[in-house]
């Protein structure tokens, strides 16, 4: 078990940043109060330009001035299992998670995350993404997430996002909600 807290950077990856063709595996890690600040503040806790696997981890109170309050994964696949995203904020997209590639999430909790678009998750297909398949959320709970567009989940493309056995409870939107 490891805790990474109160890290901040003027740029991307408040606590951790990985480059292309890298793989990051996080297991039993807590990220709390980390920030990605400045004009390109992406990934309040983690900025992953490589492949990302997250198991049994907690992302709480992380912040990004841009996209991905907890995680921003623009290019390669991102897989998340049995993790919690609580009270993360992105000023623009994806209060908890933002991606431009395939995302697979199973048995996870998204609670009280905030963003302009996609309170919990936002997808925007990047022109340089290496995979344009379907993102899948299964057996997960989305509670009290807030956004102007897409209280729980939003997509700025005609992209397949499947939800299997997920619960969407008390989310706040101002205009449009995907689910």
Each residue of 23-73: pLDDT tens digit? 999 999 999 999 999 998 999 999 999 999 999 999 999 999 999 999 999
Smallest Cα–Cα separation from 114: which of 166, 170, 172, 73? 172
Q: Which two tokens stand for residue 106?
A: 């199973």
Task: List residues bridging with 64 in a β-sheet.
Answer: 36, 90
DSSP 123: E
Contact assessment for residue 122 and residue 151, using Cβ atoms and an 8 Å cutoff? no
Alpha-carbon distance values, 150 to 50, 87, 94, 154 (Å)? 26, 16, 10, 5
**Given a cut of 50, is residue 138 above it in pLDDT?**
yes
Top pLDDT among 77 and 124 is at: 77
Q: Give pTM, 2 decimals.
A: 0.91
Could you report the per-residue pLDDT of 93-119, keeping only the tens digit for each? 999 999 988 899 999 999 999 999 999
CA angle (137, 138, 144) in 5-degree steps: 70
């Amino acid at each position: 078990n490891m805790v990474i807290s109160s890290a901040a950077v003027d740029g991307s990856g408040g606590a951790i940043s990985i480059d292309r063709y890298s793989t990051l595996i996080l297991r039993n890690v807590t990220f709390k109060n980390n920030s990605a600040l400045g004009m390109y503040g992406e990934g309040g806790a983690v900025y992953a330009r490589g492949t990302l696997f997250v198991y049994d981890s907690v992302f709480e109170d992380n912040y990004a001035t841009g996209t991905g309050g907890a995680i921003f994964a623009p290019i390669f696949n991102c897989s998340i299992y049995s993790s919690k995203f609580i009270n993360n904020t992105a000023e623009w997209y994806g209060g908890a998670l933002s991606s431009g590639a395939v995302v697979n999430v199973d048995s996870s909790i998204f609670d009280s995350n905030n963003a302009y678009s996609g309170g919990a998750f936002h997808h925007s297909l990047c022109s340089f993404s290496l995979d344009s398949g379907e993102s899948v959320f299964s057996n997960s709970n989305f509670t009290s997430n807030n956004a102007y567009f897409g209280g729980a989940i939003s997509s700025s493309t005609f992209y397949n996002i499947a939800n299997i056995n997920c619960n969407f409870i008390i989310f706040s939107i101002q205009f449009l909600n995907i689910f």
